[in-house]
Amino acid sequence: MKLVRYGKVGAEKPGMLDAGGCIRDLSDMVPDISGQVLTRAGIDRLRALDPATLPLVQGTPQDDIRLGACVGNVGKFVCIGLNYADHAAEAGLDIPPEPVIFSKWTSCIVGPDDDVILPRGAQKTDWEVELAIVIGDGGSYIAERDALAHVAGFCIVNDVSEREYQIERAGTWDKGKGCDTFGPIGPWLVTPDEVGDHENLGMWLEVDGQRYQNGNTSTMVYGVAQLVAYCSQFMSLQPGDIISTGTPPGVGMGQKPPVYLRGGETMRLGIEKLGTQCQRVRKS
């Protein structure tokens, strides 16, 4: 099952994709794709619906229908750093002995095809295609053996990052991660049964048609179940929380010489079975 949020900014409606890739409206069934709608019980209720009985939304998603972030009212946007062995090698850094946790502010969240706006004074804005976990049933101190039962689905995140803020301006990574528009999410939330083997998904990112990232989730150091269990030791996970699991090699900072976004570029990125995103980069 693929769940979407569609419509104008700030007025997105809940929907699901039918077998033909068209949006079926869920407004009479649920208030949003968020919170308790994403628990096991909530997902089961949606799965029991026949899409053909739901109102058809005229148009084509990501063409003449704007998609918002596929999860609404996100409580926590948790990210994992240096979680791909080949990306750590690219950065010249050791594989962390435990997952590195940082946050993106939820105010950075935008739709999968919305513009990315460079913050004032940006010098080294970068890209990162990432597999994101969307939490269904929440909990604390979740056992790794039970962790996958707490996953409502998966989606794509572009973890846009201003490296100067992140690395050179003192303090934590968070400073360069949560600028407005730095969190495109979607196009859709895909339930685990439709994703299948989430630890063997191809992923890629292009800037102006040049392929920079071309990786696979198989090179993650810490897998999905490990990350859900680990994060739940330090915070209670809530329905609709997002955990973005890290990026493969090919980021701008890792190029020789480095390549950064200056405004005017177009980023395209995708993950197998999860769709694609496309963002225009512009100056503030």
Q: What is the pLDDT of residue 173?
A: 85
186 occurs within a structural domain: yes
Query: Do the domain assignments include residue 32?
Result: no
- pLDDT for position 85: 85
Alpha helices in the chain (DSSP H): 40-47, 85-91, 163, 192-195, 224-231
Sign of CA dihedral 210, 212, 218, 223: negative
Given a contact cutoff of 8 angstroms between Cβ atoms, the answer to whether 32 and 25 are in contact is: no
Burial 25-48 (b: 16+ CB within 10 A, else e): bbeeebebbbbebbbeebbeebee
Q: What pLDDT sits at residue 38?
A: 98
Q: Which residues contact 94 (CB under 8 A, 6 or more apart)?
A: 88
Q: What are phi and psi of 272, to 5 degrees?
A: -50, 130
pLDDT of residue 185: 98
Going from the C-alpha of 271 to that of each of 157, 161, 247, the distances in angstroms are 10, 19, 11
In a domain, 79, yes or no: yes
Cross-strand pairs, 202? 216
> Which residues, listed in sequence order, are joined to residue 204 by a DSSP beta bridge?
214, 270
The CATH number that applies at residue 253 is 3.90.850.10
Gap between the Cα atoms of 279 and 274, Å rounded:
16
Range of the domain at 113: 71-283
**Consecutive sets of 10 residues in the chain, 284 residues long: mean pLDDT of each?**
97 97 98 97 97 97 98 98 85 86 97 97 96 98 98 98 91 90 98 97 98 96 98 98 97 95 98 98 94
With CA atoms as reference, report the closest residue to 221 among 83, 62, 127.
83
In a domain, 41, yes or no: no
Rounded to whole angstroms, what are the CA distances from 268 to 139, 171, 173, 251, 281? 35, 31, 24, 13, 11
Domain assignment present for 171: yes
Residue 79 corresponds to which tokens in the numbers above? 């990210």
**Residue reference for tokens 């999410």:** 185
Query: Count of domains in the chain?
Result: 1
Is 47 a domain residue?
A: no
Residue 279 lies in a domain: yes
Residue 8 lies in a domain: no
User: pTM for this one?
Assistant: 0.96
The contacts of residue 37 (CB under 8 Å, 6+ apart) are: 14, 30, 31, 43, 46, 239
pLDDT at 90: 79
